Chains A and B, each alone.
Chain A
């Protein structure tokens, strides 16, 4: 067990007074507790110098205000991983109390962590969660005996239904008021519970679990059986494919609906005219006014793009993704597709991060921090930049191919998978370092808890607005300046040979190439406006857009996470591959037509 003296303690959050820690294994439902116990003011932060994030909120108990910290889930406190080191850091920072959430369906391991936490001598209350699932699995637990064995209050809870939370708060208040009474043992030197190292803890945990648990008649629910069947290839893989297709449908359909019904009218009828009037009142006609509110003006495009085009799809993406995450579907997908990921040189867990990239590459690259090696992070990030279209680009591509045969869309999908495979394969053979194989625990399949889900969604949207929107705004300003000052048309002349000759696209497509540097769907959108586009041209144009540079926001995050050299290399290779592949498709097609 890591000692408090070994730690670097100059982190700000440590010095906060009145901290209560929420700890437990991953997947026990800590975030559900967190959402019940805290209000709206919730902040998700990154732990300085690590890739670990934790969430803070305020908890009011009677008259006292506390900072409740949702510490990242850990299997133990042996400080062998970053998350564990952070957890130990929090335990050593003089918290007022600890709420340790135990999973009733995995007693041994959870009790082991519970015993490790107890050694830090902080007043503790245990929440025995997932009791409803344990009952379905045929397990009954003697809570009173468990409480005596652990020497601390144990409150039975079903967090997703909100059961037991009040009692938990009562016990918490009691434990904070009387810290000495929380322990039945007389101190670590005399108490057999506290003696020894981790191996003793495992044995002690197994001993306690065996004492308190009895087998009963198990009645697996539909979800339990579905969860079990989803991790086997049959019927797992067909179910997974249905889930993926349904998710895409929900995102694109829901996004379209949100855009058409609420956001587009808001932008076109309220925001744009408002700002137009505002600026026209005191800015004279001319370039400046055009840059602000003209056809491609900042205050027109910013609203059109961000609010009416990007936001609905990103929001729907997070709605669906967070649902898949909280219900326990995502790790099952990792299991089903691990063999394919392995052939690509990565592992099943990376799939979740790549799927995140179908929403927006920025959170995917940030999310790649969960990968255990730098090589894996680089591969995932590069694959996302090359061949994973963000949700806005996907929407634009679907619109582009809407007028043609659906085969085009399928071909584009297959081609994107092919490129992903090739890029990943090559990188895994050329980059130094290794990729750790997958070892994951598969959580129970559950209906997500509404409160926790809503909180998570809100935190995600907030994060997106900060990480991606600010660079987006800068890109829009650049786009507006380019267009309204005529610089765009000037540059277009020079790019014509490549666009018309090699790629076979009409002259107007050049705008797509230039604006594509700024925003990914802007590499597609100008094509929609061109009349008389042939199927081949649409496909070639779509290919360029797909493989082309990631947008400026992504460049920003790449530079931040990996440094400018990596960002520039990725930028360069994506441009080259975009022109090469699309051009080859065009030239080869012309040989046959």
Chain B
């Protein structure tokens, strides 16, 4: 009965598995980046189009997204994470 009202993930959006922002994507999944902001720091860390990253979790209340790129742990603030689009 509870699930009737829970369409989409806990951020209240219906996820499009082929194009969602990594901020809203489901935790503990491997994703491929489809679009990333053109920032030098992201490029240096390997967060670019077609890169494969593992999303660990999103901190609540506006906190960062934790991801693993190859073997490094990276934390990305909400405002940038929302603009990184991924697909499963």
Contacts and interface: CB of A to CB of B under 8 A. Distances in A.
Contacts, number: 102
**Interface extent on B, as a size class?**
20 to 34
Nearest to A109: B46
The winner among B60, B74, B75 for most chain A CB atoms within 10 A is: B75
A338 B75 contact: yes
Contacts of B78: 339, 342, 437
Given A335-B66, A342-B62, A105 B71 contact: yes
B62 A438 contact: no
Interface in A314-360: 331, 334-336, 338-339, 342-343, 347-348
Given A76-B44, A108-B70, A439-B41, 19 more contacts: A75-B41, A78-B40, A78-B43, A78-B44, A105-B72, A109-B46, A109-B70, A139-B71, A335-B66, A338-B77, A339-B62, A339-B63, A339-B64, A343-B62, A439-B42, A439-B76, A439-B77, A441-B73, A441-B74
Interface in B42-69: 42-46, 57, 59-64, 66, 69
B45 A107 contact: no
Interface in A396-443: 437-442
A30 B52 CA distance: 28
A484 B21 CA distance: 68
Interface of B: 39-46, 57, 59-64, 66, 69-80
Nearest to B74: A441
Interface residues of A, number: 34
Nearest to A332: B75
B62 A106 contact: no
Contact of B77 (A106, A109, A231, A438): A438
A424 to B, nearest CB: 15
Nearest to A103: B72
A348 B65 CA distance: 12
15 contacts: A80-B40, A80-B44, A107-B70, A137-B71, A209-B70, A232-B59, A233-B63, A334-B75, A335-B64, A339-B61, A339-B78, A348-B77, A438-B77, A439-B41, A441-B73
Contacts of A339: 59-64, 78
The prevalent SS among residues of B at the interface is mixed
Interface in A190-220: 202, 209
A268 interface: no
Contact of B76 (A137, A331, A437): A437
A81 interface: yes
Given A78-B40, A339-B61, A342-B62, A440 B70 contact: no
Contacts of A335: 59, 63-64, 66, 75
Given A231-B66, A339-B59, A439 B45 contact: yes
B64 A348 contact: yes
A26 B63 CA distance: 24
B75 to A, nearest CB: 5
B40 A81 contact: yes
Contacts of B80: 437, 439
Given A80-B40, A437-B80, A442 B74 contact: yes
Contacts of B71: 105-107, 137, 139
The winner among A139, A335, A439, A442 for most chain B CB atoms within 10 A is: A439
A233 B40 contact: no
B79 A437 contact: yes
Contacts of A231: 66, 73, 75
A75 B46 CA distance: 10
Contacts of B74: 439-442
The winner among B43, B44, B45, B60 for most chain A CB atoms within 10 A is: B44
A368 to B, nearest CB: 18
Contacts of A107: 70-71
